A and B are shown apart, each in its own frame.
Chain A
Amino acid sequence: MAILVQFAIGLIFGLGLMVSGMSNPAKVLNFLDIGGIPAGTWDASLAFVMAGAVAVTFIGFSRVLKLARPFFAERFYLPTRSDIDPRIVAGPAIFGVGWGLAGFCPGPALTALGFGSASAFIFVAAMCAGMVLARFVAHWPSLTRFVTPADPLET
Chain B
Amino acid sequence: MVSTSFTPIASLAGGVLIGVAAVLLMWATGRIAGVSGIAARLFPPYEDGEFAGRFAFVAGLVAAPVLVRLVTGSLPAQTIEAGTTVLIVGGLLTGFGSVWGSGCTSGHGVCGLSRLSVRSLVATITFMAAGMATVFLMRHWS
The chain A residues found within 8 Å of chain B, CB to CB, are 2-27, 29-30, 32-36, 41, 43-46, 48-58, 60-61, 63-65, 67, 69-79, 81-84, 87-107, 109-115, 117, 119-120, 122-135, 137-139, 151, 153-155
Contact = CB atoms under 8 A, between A and B. Distances in A.
A151 B82 CA distance: 34
A130 B87 CA distance: 12
Contact of A126 (B1, B14, B91, B133): B91
Contacts of B91: 98, 102, 104, 109, 122-127, 129-130
Contacts of A134: 40, 95-97, 99-100
A88 B87 contact: no
B102 A154 contact: yes
Nearest to B40: A131
Interface centre among B43, B80, B112, B120 (most CB of A within 10 A): B80
Contacts of A95: 36, 93-94, 96-98, 100-101, 104, 127, 130
Given A19-B10, A20-B18, A101-B134, A117 B78 contact: yes
A94 B80 contact: no
A125 B11 CA distance: 28
Report whether over half of chain A's contact residues are helix, strand or loop; otherwise say mixed.
helix
B81 A8 contact: no
B127 A93 contact: yes
B27 A67 contact: yes
A99 B134 CA distance: 8
Q: Which 8 A-B residue pairings sit nearest by Cβ, starting from the closest?
A: A91-B101, A10-B60, A20-B14, A96-B130, A130-B95, A52-B15, A14-B64, A56-B19
Contacts of A29: 1, 81, 135
22 contacts: A12-B60, A16-B18, A48-B15, A52-B15, A76-B31, A87-B100, A88-B101, A91-B102, A93-B127, A95-B96, A98-B92, A98-B93, A101-B134, A111-B61, A114-B62, A114-B64, A123-B87, A130-B93, A130-B95, A134-B100, A138-B100, A155-B120
